[in-house]
Structure 1
Amino acid sequence: MTRSTRRGVLAGAFLTVSLLVAACGGGTPAEPAPAEDGQRSLTLYSGRDEDLIGPLIQQFQEQSGITVDTRYGSTTEMAAQLGEEGANTPAQVFLSQESGALGALADGGAFAPLPGDVTGAVPAEYTSTDGSWVGLTGRARVLAYNTRVPEAEVPADVKELTGPEWNGRVGIAPTNASFQAFVTAMRLVDGDDATRQWLTDIRDNDPQIFPRNTAILEAVDNGAVDVGLINHYYVAAAETTPANTALKFGAPGTASALVNVTGAAILAGAAESAEAQELVAFLVSQPAQEYFATETGEYPLIEGVAGPADMPALAEMGAPDVDLADLKDLDATTQLLTEVGLL
């Protein structure tokens, strides 16, 4: 990806965050289109890939009899669209890849309060503090590394990737929402100055730039790079099991051990929608949580559902003490990434 292309991507991301609060309010809520022949339906905006979430939405449709019109895009794209449409959005439910977009939209008044039995199904550290959105799955930041590299040489803290021994050997995806949420967490844990220095040092260490986590994982597995910053579940979600890749989980208490969440919210204009409430309740039900653990390799967030196979327990992660809603400050993060030349 060229520098000019990366700047173009940034412009869209930067505009997204700027529009969210300004555009969410005002206007008259759009009325959902009447369903034909008495059919129940709802409109879902999904910032999650269809390959991952589509089968679960199909399961919900078959179970509930509700037709779901799902519109897919990146979390950034869907959040931007919600911001632009404001109260006139046809969306009734929003699924997000990470908590930052949910926090930004919630601050703009975009969401209706969720029922207490929905938000209460998830531990407080993995959901909103005001009941505006609910966490669905946990996704840990990890270093994926090619197994030709001795495990003892792979650092548990990404701050160590700035040494000369890692020059040209690290893959990152600066335009990816998960990477930007991670940088935002680093800003919260270590401060802006330390984060700027780390980003500068990583930039100067000639990293390989990728558009998304899946591309990083492929490059690690085929040996194009030795290590890459991704979320843990990409290994389980890969079409074929990576043969040459292992994962290093972050040092407890550091930003490297961040556990972000995917999440769901009901749009303010759909506050009375029984269909929207049924979908969100379904997503924190045992069948849906088991689907996430077994089919996408993510961490379920409700009690009584086992985590993904061959992964450490969520309770053992030692995630930093960060309010996930505070990851909403993506505007300052993308500005910082631009200043250091990674966007």
Structure 2
Amino acid sequence: MRVSLAIAATATALALVLTGCSAPQSSPADGASGAPEGDGELTLYVGRDEALVAPLIEKFTEATGIEVTARYASSSELNALLFEEGDNTPAEAFLSQDAGALGSLSNAGLLSKLPADLTSIIPAGFTSANGTWLGITGRARVIAYDSETVDAADVPKAIAALTDPKYAGEVAFAPGNASMQSFVTALRVLDGEDAAEAWVKGMSENSPVLTEKNGETLDLVNSGEVSFGLINHYYWFEDAAELGEDAMRAQLAFLPGDAGGMVNVTGAGILKGSKDDPDALAFLEYLVSEAGQQYFVEQTYEYPLLPGVAAPEGLPALDSLVNPKLDLSDLESLSQTQELLAKYGLL
């Protein structure tokens, strides 16, 4: 697969009025609206890399005047922390790497319901069904393969095939990564608990190479140390942009319709104790504004979810990858997935 990395220009300039993204005022203009006042500060938990999100936060602060205090960790770590903190959390909003972490918080009643005029911005299927979290960007799970030792035609078309003993020691993945855990959750939802456990057991018995991060997984494929890696699509694009396409020994295989090729989302929600907080709401509005969406397109090569903003060139159409049988709101059973992975020594 040869992928052009030129970023397509925005197809349509949408008029998205970010009413919550103006600098907060000391008091309502007419004193009678009853709307809560912002204090111009936001405490944000971030389940994505600081190097990516910190510049976005700076742009948000420049646009709104709202100062952000961010805490960075993996989405699964922050998910566990939010459960531990409960109503005493200092966090007002949570930007998660995946839908599963948000779904579990929503299921536990820890997220507040968002305004309908905000949740309706993102197409159904890429955001929560109950309006408690908002889809921001899309990413596809893919198989990265060593193009020097594996022909494209020989790459498995379904994730289940990787348990074949002939692939022993040749598959790498990051079991602690939120997107990997969401894939296993999707496997449980789509194919059933028995099939998911059989896959996890089969993989554990097949001597997988376990990594800490998706980027490390891709590095192993690109260096020829393993034949296959399970990652999100955008890691390839980031490396190719930095190293050049000719340096990419690893190539990508998309798996439309298979749980292993699921489309997950980065998402964000507002914690229950910060319901209607205008500063938190302003941040979510910024994330799905044209400026926020374009930032992710240019910096991470992810799929924008705001209609009218063009995806990076070279990617399959998002609609061609979405599994209509999978509702991202069904990925809330994160703890059961972690228990399953731990049962077979993968966590």
Pair 1:247-2:247 in alignment: no
Q: Distance in 2 between matches of 1:288 and 1:212?
A: 25
Q: Distance in 2 between matches of 1:157 and 1:320?
A: 17
The structure with higher relative contact order (CA 8 Å, sep 6+) is 2
Partner letter of residue 243 of structure 1? M
TM-score by length of 2: 0.84
Q: Within 5 Å, give how 1:274-285 maps onto structure 2.
A: 274-285=278-289
Alpha-carbon distance, 1:98 to partner: 0.7
Alpha-carbon distance, 1:139 to partner: 0.9
Q: Any conservation in 2 of the 1:141–1:229 contact (CA below 8 Å)?
A: yes
Partner letter of residue 316 of structure 1? S
Q: Within 5 Å, give how 1:285-296 maps onto structure 2.
A: 285-296=289-300
Partner letter of residue 331 of structure 2? L
Q: Say if 1:111 and 1:39 are closer, same or farther in 2 by CA, change over 3 A.
A: closer
Q: Which has the higher helix share?
A: 1
Q: Any conservation in 2 of the 1:42–1:275 contact (CA below 8 Å)?
A: yes
Q: Distance in 1 between matches of 2:238 and 2:70?
A: 21
| Counterpart for residue 213 of structure 2 | 212
Alpha-carbon distance, 1:151 to partner: 0.7
| Counterpart for residue 29 of structure 1 | none
Task: Name the Cα RMSD after superposition.
Answer: 1.7
| Counterpart for residue 30 of structure 1 | none
- 120-129 or 102-111, larger mean C-alpha shift: 102-111
Q: Say if 1:237 and 1:311 are closer, same or farther in 2 by CA, change over 3 A.
A: same
Alignment equivalent of 1:256, drawn from 237, 252, 260: 260
Q: Is there any run of 5+ residues in structure 2 with no aligned partner, and where? A: 1-25, 27-37
Q: Within 5 Å, give how 1:69-108 maps onto structure 2.
A: 69-108=69-108
Pair 1:272-2:279 in alignment: no
Q: Distance in 1 between matches of 2:213 and 2:323?
A: 23
Q: Any conservation in 2 of the 1:196–1:340 contact (CA below 8 Å)?
A: no
| Counterpart for residue 141 of structure 1 | 141
| Counterpart for residue 237 of structure 1 | 238
Q: Say if 1:190 and 1:71 are closer, same or farther in 2 by CA, change over 3 A.
A: same
Partner letter of residue 282 of structure 2? E
Q: Within 5 Å, give how 1:1-343 maps onto structure 2.
A: 40-148=40-148, 149-238=150-239, 240-241=243-244, 243-250=248-255, 252-343=256-347
Q: Distance in 2 between matches of 1:111 and 1:162?
A: 38
Q: Any conservation in 1 of the 2:159–2:258 contact (CA below 8 Å)?
A: no
Alpha-carbon distance, 1:133 to partner: 0.5
Give the 3-state SS of the residue equivalent to 1:114 in structure 2: coil
Q: Is there any run of 5+ residues in structure 1 with no aligned partner, and where? A: 1-33
Q: Any conservation in 2 of the 1:48–1:73 contact (CA below 8 Å)?
A: yes
Runs of 4 or more, structure 1, over 6 Å off, are none
| Counterpart for residue 4 of structure 2 | none
Partner letter of residue 343 of structure 2? E
Q: Say if 1:190 and 1:56 are closer, same or farther in 2 by CA, change over 3 A.
A: same
Q: Any conservation in 1 of the 2:39–2:279 contact (CA below 8 Å)?
A: no
| Identity over aligned pairs, percent | 47
Q: Deviations over 1:55-110 (max 9, x none)?
A: 11111111111111111111112122222221222211110111111111112221
Give the 3-state SS of the residue equivalent to 2:125 in structure 1: helix
Q: Say if 1:101 and 1:206 are closer, same or farther in 2 by CA, change over 3 A.
A: same
Q: Distance in 2 between matches of 1:96 and 1:285?
A: 18
Q: Any conservation in 2 of the 1:145–1:226 contact (CA below 8 Å)?
A: yes
TM-score by length of 1: 0.85
Q: Any conservation in 2 of the 1:189–1:254 contact (CA below 8 Å)?
A: no
